[in-house]
Structure 1
């Protein structure tokens, strides 16, 4: 039997970075590249808990796409952006990370025949505007079950940003005291998608589950640091990340600079205001027209600056004006 032509086989390795980064900076890359492929075949390595993100790929293009289950649980380090960090908080070198991922794929029986489409492993951002990524709505038709779905941050990285269970219990009590039905983000990707699909609003501190809300079309309220803190190579604020740059479907969202550990009173006040303004109803299942228009305007402004500065296509002063005043 002849071996396949390596130039005609695309191989996508398993994603080893943060969940939010996989949602907004990788699975869309895979989808876009496969749609553009005109011949050959593709192999996409996925972990069992993320398979739902990629299941549509087998029906998406005319080329043959196979999903292969892999186990990354024994990889060294912890997820950070699109890569991993060691116990000292230092990034694992991209070359070492690629070799470790190659070993994972070999253990899963994946032949090393093909062109591997690697993530950057240095924090590169891919555009969410359609030219580099293609997104699909993950939400499912569900009747509203909860007014508010709370999404607690529970990560090993920067654990000081996590809030204790007692804090969340107190917040639930406050919201229920106002007559609201309240749920909690469940474990498992499929269950989380179902829960977000059945909620009028999701709420919590900045975390991957709220990026999932954006792809499920679930309006959400997010708190975190103020605009003085900038993230990634392009220097976006968390507000810009959630409301505009990592909101490719235009899901209604409000970001509040309450810090990582707000009082339950402040969190509840913001949630109630967002629920009133953005919450899904039968009359507006996808939000208000004014929010959609505002999102489109901010997305256009972000195109002036939310890309590497080395492109040099837009004068610096224009870029900074669009960053500070228009996005």
Structure 2
């Protein structure tokens, strides 16, 4: 599950549309099916064929159900990433270094598997996130083709 942060408020924290599209392509190349969630407000991109688009279509309950059926959730630090942790779903997340310990301990009462990439101003490079995905796939023992 990809939790796309695409808000108009604080949009300087939004990852680029091109990065999200490339991430979808990476996951598809690894035989993983990207399920895209979030609000389609300010990060607009056309996902490649093979993705499941749930933009603006899930309640919180729906989102939890989708997450619990996924192998892992990936996205920038945002509310749904906390929800993944509280739902016991492994998650790969990026955000400022000051919140890393929170994702690993404070906001992770169930000890859910988490990979965290610390970055400045919530902005990671695509290459950083490729490494984050590969690390999570390896940690979870998912049979995927890594680039």
Range class of TM-score, shorter chain: 0.7 to 0.9
Shift of 1:264: 1.9
State which of 244, 248, 252 in structure 1 corresponds to 2:105: 244
**In structure 2, do the counterparts of structure 1 residues 191 and 165 end up closer, same or farther at CA, with 3 Å as the change threshold?**
farther
Q: What is the Cα-based RMSD across aligned positions, in Å?
A: 2.0
For the Cα contact (< 8 Å) 1:221–1:254, is it kept in 2? yes
Match of 2:137 in 1: 275
SS of aligned partner of 1:203 = strand
**In structure 2, do the counterparts of structure 1 residues 241 and 280 end up closer, same or farther at CA, with 3 Å as the change threshold?**
farther
The CA distance in 2 between the partners of 1:151 and 1:209, in whole Å, is 7
Shift of 1:211: 0.3
For the Cα contact (< 8 Å) 1:175–1:268, is it kept in 2? no
The CA distance in 2 between the partners of 1:274 and 1:174, in whole Å, is 14
The answer for unaligned runs of 5 or more in structure 1 is: 1-148, 227-236, 282-327
The CA distance in 2 between the partners of 1:156 and 1:280, in whole Å, is 35
Match of 1:253 in 2: 114
Query: What is the 5 A alignment of 1:39-58?
Result: none
Give CA-to-partner distance per residue, 1:133-162, whole Å, 9 cap, x none.
Answer: xxxxxxxxxxxxxxxx11111234321001
TM-score, normalised by the number of residues in structure 1: 0.35
1:201 aligns with 2:72: yes
Q: With CA pairs under 8 Å and 6+ residues apart, which has the higher RCO, 1 or 2?
A: 2
Aligned length: 123
The CA distance in 2 between the partners of 1:254 and 1:178, in whole Å, is 18
Greater gyration radius? 1
Shift of 1:165: 2.8
The CA distance in 2 between the partners of 1:164 and 1:207, in whole Å, is 16
The CA distance in 1 between the partners of 2:78 and 2:133, in whole Å, is 16
For the Cα contact (< 8 Å) 2:115–2:135, is it kept in 1? no
The answer for unaligned runs of 5 or more in structure 2 is: 38-53
